[in-house]
């Protein structure tokens, strides 16, 4: 399972920037789509510290993209911060 997660994270890191690139009609896939994909991966149990860090970097990229394009972050979820001080299952804290 860990190998699959690493490959999925690497795939998203590779294709997400191109899919968000502005074309004639805007991004190929929306930041909301990528945010949902990343949150699904965050829901996996037993993520390693490096996986959590990679997912956090990708979420920060989405935040920056949304800020550049004056898009509000999804209001259905409170902002989250990830506690990566342990390699156990992630602990979520509301910001």
- pLDDT tens, residue by residue, 49-60: 999 999 999 999
pLDDT at 65 over 70: yes
pLDDT for residue 19 is more than 70:
yes
**pLDDT band for position 70 (50/70/90)?**
confident
Tally of domains in the chain:
1
Range of the domain at 19: 2-94
42 burial via Cβ count (<10 Å: 0-12, 13-18, 19+)? middle
> What does the pLDDT read at residue 25?
78
| Higher per-residue pLDDT: 42 or 1 | 42
Rounded CA-CA distance 69/37 in Å is 20
Residue 87: is its pLDDT beyond 60?
A: no
């Amino acid at each position: 399972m860990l190998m699959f997660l690493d490959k999925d994270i690497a795939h998203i890191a590779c294709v997400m920037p191109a899919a968000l690139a502005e074309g004639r009609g805007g991004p190929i896939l929306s930041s909301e789509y990528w945010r949902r994909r990343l949150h699904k991966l965050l829901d996996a149990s037993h993520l390693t510290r490096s996986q959590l860090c990679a997912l956090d970097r990708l979420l920060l990229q989405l935040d920056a993209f949304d800020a550049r394009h004056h898009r509000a972050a999804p209001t259905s979820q409170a902002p989250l911060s990830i506690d990566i001080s342990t390699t156990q299952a992630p602990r979520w804290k509301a910001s």
